[in-house]
Amino acid sequence: MTPERCRFFRRQLGWSQEALAEKATLSVSAVRAFELGRGSSRGYVPGSIRRAFEAVGIRMDSDEAPRIATAD
């Protein structure tokens, strides 16, 4: 998860930073810092953000290419 991808997905979903923070069980300041590139790109913050997006059907390949999950 990169800050750019985070902002992109959040905006596509119509989520505020506050909404993402709630869904990812993070503080708003952690989301804000990550999106500004002030947080680590490794560790629990990007992982929590990624899981919040995956919970609503957004999937990312290893190269960070986004895709929407579909039922097979």
| Confidence at residue 60, expressed as pLDDT on a 0 to 100 scale | 73
CA distance 9 to 23: 13
| Confidence at residue 11, expressed as pLDDT on a 0 to 100 scale | 94
| Confidence at residue 68, expressed as pLDDT on a 0 to 100 scale | 56
Query: What's the angle, vertex CA 36, arms to CA 44 and CA 3, rounded to 5?
Result: 55
Spatial CB neighbours of 37, under 8 Å, sequence gap ≥ 6: 3
Mean pLDDT by 10 residues, the chain (72 residues): 92 96 96 89 87 91 55 49
CA distance 39 to 49: 12
| Confidence at residue 54, expressed as pLDDT on a 0 to 100 scale | 94
